[in-house]
Amino acid sequence: CKQELGWTDYRFTNFQHIERWWEIIFCVYTMISLNSSVLLGLNQSRQLETEAQDLSDVDFSNHPQWNHESGWKNALNNLRLIIQPLLLFWLIYPWLSIFPNSHLLLGFNHLIAAMNQFKPYYASG
């Protein structure tokens, strides 16, 4: 996992840059690990999982590229799918000032609002 996230990237020579790079790598590694099915099974009871599923109106696993297998890489790819609409919006946003399209903006607004319903697991203490 760490190599996929840039563990072996040695482009930085300044200590502050190296330190910041490692902070980013370890934060992402921790986020992915906490959302992997193995750790979710250890940290949450079945009751909490069913309550979280009941509260969510959107089933993200219906996406055709969703990976239902367990493991850190599958969790990483699934989290990438979840943030994809927001990233795509910011890539296309400068073009919307040249070619205004209110329907496209409204569609992105609805899609991003639905994606914001995703509740990742974060340890509370």
Q: What is the percent of the chain with per-residue pLDDT over 90, rounded to a whole number? A: 12
Is 1 among the domain residues? no
Choose between 79 and 13: higher pLDDT. 79
Range of the domain at 61: 35-115
Is residue 84 predicted with pLDDT exceeding 70? yes
Is residue 9 predicted with pLDDT exceeding 60? no
Is 46 among the domain residues? yes
Is 54 among the domain residues? yes
Is residue 62 predicted with pLDDT exceeding 50? yes
Is residue 107 predicted with pLDDT exceeding 80? yes
- Distance of alpha carbon 71 from the chain centroid: 15
Is 12 among the domain residues? no
- Distance of alpha carbon 123 from alpha carbon 125, whole angstroms: 6
Is 16 among the domain residues? no
pLDDT of 69 reads 81
Rounded to a whole number of angstroms, the CA Rg of the chain reads 18
Is 85 among the domain residues? yes
Q: What is the pTM of this model?
A: 0.57
Is residue 102 predicted with pLDDT exceeding 80? yes
Could you tell me what percentage of the chain is helix, strand and coil, using 3-state DSSP and rounding each to the nearest 5? 65, 0, 35
- What are the angstrom distances between the C-alpha of 53 and each of 34, 46, 60, 89, 95? 17, 11, 11, 27, 37
- Distance of alpha carbon 102 from alpha carbon 95, whole angstroms: 12
Choose between 53 and 99: higher pLDDT. 99
Is 29 among the domain residues? no
Is 51 among the domain residues? yes
The total number of structural domains that make up the chain: 1
Is residue 56 predicted with pLDDT exceeding 70? no
